[in-house]
Amino acid sequence: MSLHPVHALPRYLAPMAGLTHSAFRRVVATLGGCDGFTTEMLSAKALLSDDFATSPYVKRSALERVLLYQLMLANLDPVQKVVGKVASMAVDGIDVNLACHAPRIRGVRAGSSLFLDRVALERTLGQLRAHWGGFLSVKVRLGSEGDGWEEVLRDRFDLFEQIGVDRITLHARFFEDKYKRRVRHELYPVVCGWTRLPMIANGDLSDYGEVDRQRGNLESVGGIMVGRMAVVQPWLFAHWGGGSTVEPESVWWAVADAVLEDFPEKAALGRLKLFGLYFSRNYLFGHTFAVRLKAATSVAALFAVARDFFARAPQRVDQPHLGGLA
What is the residue type of 13?
Answer: L
pLDDT interval class at 326 (50, 70, 90): confident
Q: With a threshold of 0.85, does the pTM exceed it?
A: yes
pLDDT digits 0-9 by tens, 212-243: 999 999 999 999 999 999 999 999 999 886 76
CA 148 from centroid of its chain's CA atoms: 28
> Are 189 and 307 within one domain?
no
**Looking at residues 184-193, what average pLDDT do you find?**
97
Structural contact between residues 168 and 160, judged by C-beta atoms closer than 8 angstroms = yes
Domain end position, chosen among 185, 206, 232: 232
Q: Which domain holds residue 36?
A: 5-232
Q: For residue 4, what pLDDT is reported?
A: 64
User: Is residue 154 located within the same domain as residue 255?
Assistant: no
Q: Give yes or no for residue 167 having a pLDDT over 50.
A: yes
Query: Same domain, yes or no, for 58 and 185?
Result: yes
Shared-domain flag, residues 75 and 155 = yes
Do 41 and 142 fall within a single domain?
A: yes
Domain assignment present for 294 = yes
Instruction: Clarify whether residues 23 and 130 are in a common domain.
Output: yes
189 within a domain of the structure (yes/no): yes
Tell me, yes or no, whether 324 lies in a domain: no
- What is the pLDDT at residue 2? 45
Kindly tell me if the per-residue pLDDT of 1 is higher than 60: no
Looking at the fold, whether 216 and 296 belong to one and the same domain comes out as no
Specify the number of domains making up the chain: 2
The pLDDT score that the predictor gives to residue 130 is: 96
Verify that 16 and 161 share a domain, yes or no.
yes
Whether residue 95 sits in one domain with residue 32: yes
pLDDT the model gives residue 243: 62
- Reply yes or no on whether the pLDDT at 260 is more than 80: yes
Query: Which one has a higher pLDDT value, 253 or 53?
Result: 253
∠ at Cα 291 (56, 322), nearest 5°?
70
Q: Residue 146's pLDDT band (boundaries 50, 70, 90)?
A: confident
Rounded Cα distance, 138 and 15, in Å = 12
203 belongs to a structural domain: yes
Is residue 12 included in any domain, yes or no? Answer: yes
Q: ∠ at Cα 250 (26, 30), nearest 5°?
A: 25
The verdict on 228 and 252 lying in the same domain is no
Mean pLDDT is highest, among 71-75, 76-80, 271-275, for 271-275
CATH number, domain of 162, equals 3.20.20.70
Q: Collapsing DSSP states into helix, strand and coil, what is residue 223?
A: strand
Three-class secondary structure of residue 38 per DSSP: strand
Residue 149 has pLDDT above 70, yes or no: yes
Asked if residue 241 belongs to a domain, the reply is no
State the CB neighbour count (10 A cutoff) for residue 210.
Answer: 17
pLDDT, one tens digit per residue, over 267-317 is 999 999 999 999 999 999 999 999 999 999 999 999 999 999 999 999 999
pLDDT for residue 228:
95
Task: Please check whether residues 208 and 283 belong to one and the same domain.
Answer: no
Residue 325 lies in a domain: no
pLDDT of residue 5: 74
Q: Are residues 136 and 26 in the same domain?
A: yes
Question: Within a domain: residue 237?
Answer: no
The dihedral formed by the CA atoms of 103, 105, 110 and 114, expressed in degrees to the nearest 10: -20
Determine the residue type at 103. Answer: P
- Residue of 189, 135, 141, 199 whose CA lies nearest to 164: 135
Q: What is the mean pLDDT of the chain?
A: 93
